[in-house]
Amino acid sequence: MRLYSWNVNGIRAVANKGAFAEFIKQYDPDILGLQETKAQQGQAELDYPQYEEFWNSAQKKGYSGTAIFTKTKPHSVTFDFSDDINNKYSLTDNYGDTASEGRVTTAEYDDFYYVTVYTPNSKGALERLPMRSQAWDPAFYDHIMQLEKTKPVIFSGDLNVAYQEQDLANPKANVGKHGFTNEERSGFQKFIDAGFIDTFRHFTPEGNGYYTWWTHWANARARNVGWRIDYFLVSPKLKDRIKSAEIHQTQMGSDHCPVSLELK
């Protein structure tokens, strides 16, 4: 089974460029999680009858959003967090209510849950870091761990954090900046401490140069000056089924590239 994840940074733009059709033709995912769709279902010209589509679009037009395209019909699909989690954490800040931004889509299959997630960016001046670190990250952790009680969980998406120094080209210059704060990295560490497997690093534990996002400035992508902020994490219960995990840096169309996981 081939699972892919891609922050498309606007599905309409990627589709209009022809990049989305090229991606589907080349990689043919069994399950595809998308982030930052920036559209309602039907707004992009997409014709892929082999997939069932589940869209969780933001209330704000042209903003955020996630979706799952799947060849296998899920038992169920849910959007965002449960009421219990929403009531437990303050997920609203001056930028808005993250519960209305379409950031989490969860599909249940026979033997696992698959979750696609678009984690809030902490912003350049860290304006959104308090909500992100004190509410969003704990809420998402609770969401995953609640699912894990029933079935093993696979989750993927743009987590908006570089976990280790090797996950960005210029770590020393970015310590304490959004995407590389201690608070954001600690949120990721909780999953590692719970036994979840960073699948790419499972196969490639050392080395830099493996990035999934590049700024549009200063020809960064051509020079591969980037960040690894897109991931597949897998429940320890599924460790023996992990066959491969890759970053597809040559796929164009977005400022992010897709990442993938193959299960036995």
Q: Render pLDDT for 174-228 as a digit per residue (tens, 0 to 9).
A: 999 999 999 999 999 999 999 999 999 999 999 999 999 999 999 999 999 999 9
User: What was the pLDDT predicted at 251?
Assistant: 98
Mean pLDDT on 47-62: 97
User: What was the pLDDT predicted at 184?
Assistant: 98
Domain ranges of the chain: 2-263
pLDDT category, 119, cuts 50, 70, 90?
Answer: very high
User: Catalytic pick from 4, 80, 137, 158?
Assistant: 158
Looking at the chain, list the stretches that DSSP marks H as alpha helix, in order from N- to C-terminal side.
11-16, 19-27, 83-88, 129-131, 137-148, 171-174, 182-193, 199-203
User: What was the pLDDT predicted at 226?
Assistant: 98
Residues shown for the chain: 264
Beta sheet of 104-108, edge-to-edge order: 76-79, 104-108, 113-118, 153-158, 230-234, 197-198
Q: Render pLDDT for 152-176 as a digit per residue (tens, 0 to 9).
A: 999 999 999 999 999 999 999 999 9
User: Catalytic pick from 118, 163, 211, 231?
Assistant: 118
What secondary structure letter does DSSP report for 154?
E
The separation between CA 105 and the C-alpha centre of its own chain, rounded to angstroms, equals 10
Pick the CATH number of 2-263 from 3.60.10.10, 2.90.10.10, 1.10.1040.10, 3.20.20.70: 3.60.10.10
User: What was the pLDDT predicted at 262?
Assistant: 98
Dihedrals phi, psi of 226, to nearest 5 degrees? -135, -165
State the burial class of residue 92 (Cβ atoms within 10 Å of its Cβ: 0-12, 13-18, 19+): middle
User: Could you tell me which of 155, 163, 162 has the C-alpha nearest to residue 118?
Assistant: 155
Residue with the two structure tokens 């491969």:
244
Q: Render pLDDT for 199-211 as a digit per residue (tens, 0 to 9).
A: 999 999 999 999 9
Report the half-sphere exposure of 94 (CA within 13 A, side-chain side): 7
User: What stretches of 92-188 adopt beta strand conformation (E)?
Assistant: 92-93, 96-97, 104-108, 113-118, 153-158
User: What was the pLDDT predicted at 255?
Assistant: 98
How many whole angstroms separate alpha carbon 158 and alpha carbon 172?
Answer: 22
Concerning whether 158 is annotated as a catalytic residue, the answer is: yes
How many whole angstroms separate alpha carbon 169 and alpha carbon 162?
Answer: 10
User: What was the pLDDT predicted at 121?
Assistant: 97
Concerning whether 118 is annotated as a catalytic residue, the answer is: yes
Average pLDDT of the chain, as a whole number: 97
